[in-house]
Amino acid sequence: MRRNQVAVVGAAETTELGVIPNMSQIQLHADAALNAIADAGLKLSDIDGLATGVETPQQIAHYLGITPTWVDGTSVGGCSFMLHVRHAAAAIEAGLCKTVLITHAESGKSNIGRTPRMIGPDSLNGQFELPYGVSTPASMFPIPVLRYMKTHGITHEQIAMVAVVQREWAAKNPRATMKAPITVKDVLNSRMIAYPFRILQCCLVTDGGGALILTSAERAKDFPGKPVYILGTGESVETPMVSQMQTFDSSRAFRVAGPLAFREAGITHEDVDHLMIYDAFAHLPLYGLGDLGFMPHEETGKFIADGHTRPGGKLPLNTNGGGLSYMHSGMYGMYALQESVRQMRGIAPAQVQGANISVCHGVGGMFAASGTIIFTNEK
């Protein structure tokens, strides 16, 4: 994909975030989609491309009453929406469609009309993990995290600091679920979930959704909102957590998707003004900083503990509060994308002044997939 040829011209989340017991999952999809379409100044009839995850494209298209000529139902976990952006940009460049709606929603807390998630008995997870009690993220991540800590000298206090800093960002965001300040002591004294994770190091469980509208950069100038251009994209998948038990301390998918996006964008790490890293658990920003090449893994914990990612720091990270404090409906990638777009539009609640390049990096399927999107507000 060529850089700066496709732009985001509409972006919005559901009208409410948090606990929404009066709306089903598909209604949340529609709410987010209609909000994004309105943000772009469009009508439903203008949409000729559709991408979504978990729910199928045909369900969403039928519910919205549209007949797209291009669809994408890629569903690889929480970073699916980063992959949708990449695929949609390629489709627009290829002339397969002109205006793509990417939508996501989950009734993660209220479970109203939520699509059930199952581990197939013949899958790798079903054969080699589930029989031993490894069935949820909280039970999958602890072993590799403990190895990561041992290998790279990361402390419990440093991982706790991730949650502390992201709560500082959330305090600036009126839509964040959790805003009250916390300390490292608060994190380490909070309820144990699965060692070494305590509840303040685990993502929230909420309801909500979001949607994006993409079109060509040439058309973008005719839309009412400030366009945000796609500078670079990358994606990768690998065998789920089973294969990663070989190394414990890195993600091959991260190490493929990130460099692909950076090469396509033609930027270096020093060019990055703003960074979003999927944070279902507090250790993920550490993995991301290391595997994306910002610094050696041994330096990631100290980098955050020293305040470099907090408000006023040199690398603002997860400025909406992240999955730990902003919201997390089960698949967080869409909300990270929304914050990158807000930052590039200059309208984020905790706006990073002068930010021109934002890197948005996601993970899916317990490290089995990764997607990276690099945005800019300069054509």
Question: Active-site residues: which are they?
Answer: 278, 326
Give Dmax (Cα) for the chain: 56
Collapse the DSSP code of 49 into the 3-class scheme (helix H, G, I; strand E, B; otherwise coil) and give the result.
Answer: strand
| Phi-psi group of 193: left, alpha or beta (phi > 0 → left; psi -120 to 50 → alpha; rest → beta) | alpha
Adjacent-strand bridge partners of 343: none
User: Could you tell me which residues come within 8 angstroms of residue 228 by beta carbon, excluding any fewer than 6 positions away?
Assistant: 7, 8, 11, 340, 341, 344, 345, 375, 376, 377
200, 194 contact by CB (below 8 A): no
Beta-strand relationship, 192-194 and 228-237: unpaired
Query: Taking each helix axis from N to C terminus, what angle separates 284-291 and 297-305, rounded to the nearest 10 degrees?
Result: 130
Instruction: Tell me the residue type at 126.
Output: G
CA distance 191 to 180: 17
Helix (H) or strand (E) holding 30: helix 25-40
Q: How many CB atoms lie within 10 A of CB 237?
A: 20
- Residue 317's alpha-carbon distances to 9, 127, 248, 260, 311, in angstroms, are 24, 37, 24, 21, 9
